[in-house]
Amino acid sequence: MTAMRPQALVLDFGGVVTRTLFETHELTERALGLRSGTLTWQGPFDLASDPLWRSMQADEISERDYWKTRTREVGQLVGEEWDTMETFVRRARGADPEAVVRPEADRAIRKAHAAGVRLAILSNELDLFYGADFRGRLPLLSLFETIVDATYTKILKPDLRAYQSVAEALGLPTSACVFVDDQKRNVDGAVVAGMRPVHFDVASPARSYAEALGHFGLTL
């Protein structure tokens, strides 16, 4: 039996479409008036620098718990009490969301769209972290046919239902979807759901996007 040709590219958002907060410490420090080098935690870029990230990777805490802790810490550095990740992102990244979009993501998304590939986002916390008005401030998101956000569904990856919900929104079987995420547990969940997985490497975004586009016979 011939396998179904992939028809949709399903992307995680933070880390895949946008640069991670680890990669933009310099921007964050400047925006918040912090001394250069104040933020030292580097997550996947330097595991030795970030025991909290290692705890998250070991499933001792959730990714949301990780960012709740960092949000509180950075708020305290500027003498404020921050209780939502949205506050952190807005204060750190300002009013120009396009400034933190990965250029590789922009190219890949536009190339896929032009080639007729259907586009979707499956995120655990898009609006929770970025704010409900963010989508209207990032024109690139208008190219996506559907956005499934656990901020509202409350179904977090790697729950099988999360992958099924985005496939259902597209009207496709999961086997017709290429799924891209930077968290291995979420990629493993996609495999169980029957999607074609791409484990996104935040340290090598061009290679990861080239792999994703390759499923559709496209190049970056």
Name the superfamily (CATH) of residues 8-19+101-214.
Answer: HAD superfamily/HAD-like (3.40.50.1000)
pLDDT at 1 over 50: no
Q: What is the mean pLDDT of the chain?
A: 94
> What is this structure's pTM?
0.90
Residue 121's CB is within 10 A of a number of other CB atoms, namely 21
**C-alpha count within 13 angstroms, C-beta hemisphere, residue 47:** 5
**73: enclosing H helix or E strand:** helix 63-77
19 secondary structure, DSSP code: -
How far is 98 from 102, CA to CA, in rounded Å?
9
Asked if pLDDT for residue 94 goes beyond 80, the answer is no
Look-up of token digits 């690139």 = 140
pLDDT digits (tens, 9 = 90+) for 12-26: 999 999 999 999 999
Instruction: List, in order, residues 6 or more apart from 142 with CB less than 8 Å away.
Output: none
Of the candidates 96, 72, 114, which has an alpha carbon nearest to the alpha carbon of residue 24? Answer: 96
Domain layout of the chain by residue ranges:
8-19+101-214, 25-96
Q: Which residues pair with 54 in a beta bridge?
A: none
